[in-house]
């Protein structure tokens, strides 16, 4: 039997067993912007400030550096993986090379579902800002009715998701161009806002050490409400892996993606932390109940401190940030769906993995995700606490999917199978001797934060009437259903069909000096025409092991591939 020979491919995708079908046009700033816009400090910090403040007061701000420290450990692990595997659906593809087929599929499945839920949650943020810019954006009711907030939020979010669907379906060039402009506006606005708030400071940083009676009614005291309020910070600092998920469309991705991941989370921490600090020190009255209300929050502080025109100008910048954040979350979800579909790991994989011949983007996946993202909004349309519920569920799934990468990576380190043996390929980023301690902290952090976020607290999952047990346990029930249902779907059906679809498989080149008759191809073509090879199993010699049978790729003529 002929042995395939490694070929030189400018795209580098044959190294991973795939053909280059997406448009590789993203530069360094656009890659950085993708990570920044997904984290989106002007979206996240302004979205849940009211929640964190209402739970733990000004001292909730300490959750910001705490979450950053933990997530930085995860980002460092991801940067190392991105330096080796800058492939679409990064978390899924990393898990595929580190773990078993079931856990790898679950990593992709959970991140896909969380991205779809997060897409709706991010778009809902328009409801927190637009009506404060102009009351006319409160289209349904006047904002005082029980369901006015949720109904109007769903309407605005659905419009935003529809716009995002059109832009993402049109192509990555348009999306990244809009995204880069939006990120530039967001970063400039963040710097100006920090300076403006600093100019209006009315108290010192000692307020950050005052619990002011928060937690008196909680069994764990202030620590208990601080853990709840930490969700406000936990919701912001994730999605930095987007820079790597767009790796197939990025120039020199093995060097660009790791830097973009670390720069995105660091820049977001610094700017977001200063905005949070400035808002707390400049707020006219920290006892004002509007600071802990969904229709007030940090937006209310900005309007109070900076006044009409200037305050509203900054709120417009927040709307820009929400817009590009929606685009980035949508783009990341599309790449995950595409990555899993081209491995035939989703229902209707052939349709979902289709790439538009001219725009070179997964158009069908963009449209399907846009439609599905609106469903959770409609289901929760009569839930006044819609925002905190969807936000909580989305980040629980995110943290779980991240654990399905960091845990097997740690196991590889203990087995001395990571870092990889020198195979002649230069990694784009390496942690060196710090890899093991960083990875251990990343796993411990991810586990602790997941438990904290999924805990069935009424403050998060059932904060308003009617008070029912199934609402309080809604997060646990939903995450359990998604995880358990997904595992059953994979074990009973998906794993029997998994394999790189022929349209996306890298061409197999053979040694032209060998007998061409054995391949059924004309001599000198360098291509294997057998359809069995179009779905050839992906090997991973650089990780010291083989892809499990569950991920072996089906041969079109011989059932499940054997690897020969």
Q: What digits encode the pLDDT tens for the residues 235-277? A: 889 988 988 888 888 988 999 999 999 999 999 999 999 999 9
What is the reported pLDDT for 509? Answer: 56
Structure tokens that stand for 44 in this block: 């996240």
Q: Which region, left, alpha or beta, applies to residue 22 given φ > 0 means left and ψ of -120 to 50 means alpha?
A: beta
Q: What is the mean pLDDT of residues 485-500?
A: 94
CA-to-CA distance for 346 and 335, rounded, in angstroms?
13
User: Which of 84-118 are b and which e, b meaning 16 or more Cβ less than 10 Å from the residue's Cβ?
Assistant: bbbbbbbbbbbbbbbbbbbbbbbbbbbbbbbbbbb
Going by their DSSP bridges, the two strands 554-555 and 559-560 should be labelled as antiparallel
Question: Is the model's pLDDT at 524 over the cut of 80?
Answer: no
Question: Is the model's pLDDT at 38 over the cut of 50?
Answer: yes
24 band by pLDDT with thresholds 50, 70 and 90: confident
CA-to-CA distance for 37 and 464, rounded, in angstroms?
31
What is the reported pLDDT for 508? Answer: 67
Question: Could you tell me which residues come within 8 angstroms of residue 452 by beta carbon, excluding any fewer than 6 positions away?
Answer: 227, 230
Q: pLDDT of 411-449, one tens digit each?
A: 999 999 998 876 666 778 999 999 999 999 999 999 999
Question: Could you tell me which residues come within 8 angstroms of residue 395 by beta carbon, excluding any fewer than 6 positions away?
Answer: 114, 118, 231, 234, 235, 238, 453
Q: In a 3-state reduction of DSSP, which class is residue 473?
A: coil
What is the reported pLDDT for 400? Answer: 95
What is the reported pLDDT for 416? Answer: 93
Stronger pLDDT, 424 or 89, i.e. the higher one? 89
What is the reported pLDDT for 475? Answer: 87
What is the reported pLDDT for 160? Answer: 97
Q: What are phi and psi of 505, to 5 degrees?
A: -80, 140
| Residue % of the chain over a pLDDT of 70 | 87
Least confident stretch, 102-111, 335-344, 463-472, 548-557? 548-557
What is the reported pLDDT for 507? Answer: 79
What is the reported pLDDT for 361? Answer: 92
Question: Is the model's pLDDT at 4 over the cut of 50?
Answer: no
Whole-model pTM? 0.85
Question: Is the model's pLDDT at 306 over the cut of 50?
Answer: yes
Question: Is the model's pLDDT at 526 over the cut of 60?
Answer: no
Q: What are phi and psi of 555, to 5 degrees?
A: -90, 140
CA-to-CA distance for 123 and 396, rounded, in angstroms?
18
What angle do the packed helices 308-342 and 41-56 form, to 10 degrees? 110
> Which of 7-11, 348-352, 528-532 shows the highest mean pLDDT?
348-352
H or E stretch at 412: helix 386-414
Stronger pLDDT, 146 or 211, i.e. the higher one? 211
Q: What is the mean pLDDT of residues 209-238?
A: 89
Question: Is the model's pLDDT at 7 over the cut of 80?
Answer: no
206 band by pLDDT with thresholds 50, 70 and 90: very high
Mean pLDDT for the chain overall: 85
Q: What is the mean pLDDT of residues 205-209?
A: 93
Question: Is the model's pLDDT at 552 over the cut of 90?
Answer: no
What is the reported pLDDT for 425? Answer: 67
What is the reported pLDDT for 427? Answer: 78
What is the reported pLDDT for 392? Answer: 85
CA-to-CA distance for 163 and 157, rounded, in angstroms?
10
Question: Could you tell me which residues come within 8 angstroms of residue 502 by beta carbon, excluding any fewer than 6 positions away?
Answer: 531, 534, 535, 556
Q: What is the mean pLDDT of residues 94-111?
A: 94
Residue whose C-alpha is closest to residue 357's, from 24, 88, 22, 26: 22
307 band by pLDDT with thresholds 50, 70 and 90: confident
> Which of 71-75, 175-179, 248-252, 502-506 shows the highest mean pLDDT?
71-75
Question: Is the model's pLDDT at 165 over the cut of 60?
Answer: yes
Q: What is the mean pLDDT of residues 29-36?
A: 90
Q: What is the mean pLDDT of residues 169-173?
A: 91
Residue whose C-alpha is closest to residue 401's, from 241, 228, 229, 544: 241
> Which of 265-269, 303-307, 516-520 shows the highest mean pLDDT?
265-269
531 band by pLDDT with thresholds 50, 70 and 90: very low
Neighbouring-strand partners of residue 510: 4
Least confident stretch, 266-270, 478-482, 528-532? 528-532
518 band by pLDDT with thresholds 50, 70 and 90: very low
Stronger pLDDT, 551 or 220, i.e. the higher one? 220
User: Concatenated DSSP letters for 254-301?
Assistant: HHHHHHHHHHHHHHHHHHHHHHHHHHHHH-S-TT-GGGGSTTSHHHHH
What is the reported pLDDT for 407? Answer: 97
Q: What is the mean pLDDT of residues 156-173?
A: 95
Question: Is the model's pLDDT at 503 over the cut of 70?
Answer: yes
- List the Cα angle 373/108/326 in 5-degree steps: 35
Question: Is the model's pLDDT at 228 over the cut of 80?
Answer: yes
The 10 Å Cβ neighbour count of residue 491 is: 14
| Residue % of the chain over a pLDDT of 90 | 59
């Amino acid at each position: 039997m002929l042995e395939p020979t490694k070929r030189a491919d400018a795209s580098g995708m044959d190294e991973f067993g795939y053909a280059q079908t997406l448009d590789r046009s993203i530069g360094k700033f656009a890659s950085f912007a993708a990570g920044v816009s997904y984290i989106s400090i002007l979206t996240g910090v302004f979205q849940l400030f009211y929640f964190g403040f209402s739970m733990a007061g000004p001292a909730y701000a300490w959750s910001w550096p705490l979450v950053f420290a933990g997530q930085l450990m995860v980002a460092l692990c991801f940067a190392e993986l991105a330096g080796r595997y800058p492939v679409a659906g990064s978390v899924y593809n990393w898990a595929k090379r580190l773990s078993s087929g079931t856990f790898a599929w679950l990593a992709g499945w959970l991140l896909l579902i969380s991205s779809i839920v997060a897409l709706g949650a991010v778009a809902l943020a328009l409801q927190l800002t637009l009506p404060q810019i102009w009351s006319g954006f409160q289209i349904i009711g006047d904002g005082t009715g029980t369901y006015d907030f949720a109904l109007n939020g769903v309407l605005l979010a659905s419009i935003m998701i529809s716009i995002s669907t059109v832009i993402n379906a049109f192509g990555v060039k348009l999306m990244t161009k809009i995204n880069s402009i939006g990120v530039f506006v967001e970063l400039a606005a963040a710097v100006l806002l920090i300076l403006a708030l600093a100019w209006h400071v009315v108290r010192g940083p000692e307020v950050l050490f005052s619990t002011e009676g928060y937690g008196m009614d909680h069994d764990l005291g202030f620590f208990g409400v601080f853990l709840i309020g930490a969700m406000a910070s936990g919701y912001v600092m994730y999605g930095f892996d987007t820079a790597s998920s767009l790796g197939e469309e990025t120039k020199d991705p093995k060097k660009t993606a790791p830097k973009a991941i670390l720069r995105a989370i660091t820049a977001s921490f610094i700017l977001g932390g200063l905005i949070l600090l400035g808002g707390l020190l400049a707020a006219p009255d920290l006892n004002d109940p509007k600071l802990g209300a969904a229709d007030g929050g940090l937006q209310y502080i900005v309007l109070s401190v900076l006044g009409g025109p200037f305050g509203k100008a900054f709120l417009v910048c927040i709307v820009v940030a929400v817009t590009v954040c929606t685009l980035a979350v949508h783009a990341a979800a599309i790449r995950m769906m595409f990555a899993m579909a081209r491995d035939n790991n989703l229902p209707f994989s052939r349709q979902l993995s289709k790439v538009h011949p001219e725009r070179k983007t997964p158009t069908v996946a963009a449209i399907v995700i846009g439609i599905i993202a609106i469903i959770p909004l409609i289901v929760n349309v009569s839930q006044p606490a819609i925002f905190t519920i969807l936000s909580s569920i989305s980040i629980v799934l995110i943290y779980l999917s991240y654990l399905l990468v960091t845990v097997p990576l740690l196991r590889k380190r203990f087995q001395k199978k990571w870092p990889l043996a020198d195979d002649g390929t230069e990694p784009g980023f390496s942690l060196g001797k710090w890899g093991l301690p960083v990875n251990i902290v990343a796993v411990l952090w991810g586990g602790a934060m997941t438990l904290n976020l999924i805990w069935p607290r009424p403050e998060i999952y059932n904060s308003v009437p009617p008070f029912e047990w199934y609402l309080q346990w809604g997060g646990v029930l939903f995450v359990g259903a998604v995880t358990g249902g997904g595992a059953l779907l994979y074990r009973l059906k998906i794993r029997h069909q998994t394999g790189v679809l022929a349209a996306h498989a890298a061409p197999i080149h053979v040694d032209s000096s060998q007998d061409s008759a054995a391949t059924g191809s004309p001599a000198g073509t360098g291509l294997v025409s057998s359809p069995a090879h179009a779905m050839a199993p992906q090997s991973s010699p650089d990780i010291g092991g083989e892809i499990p049978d569950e991920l072996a790729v089906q041969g079109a003529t011989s059932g499940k591939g054997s690897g020969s």
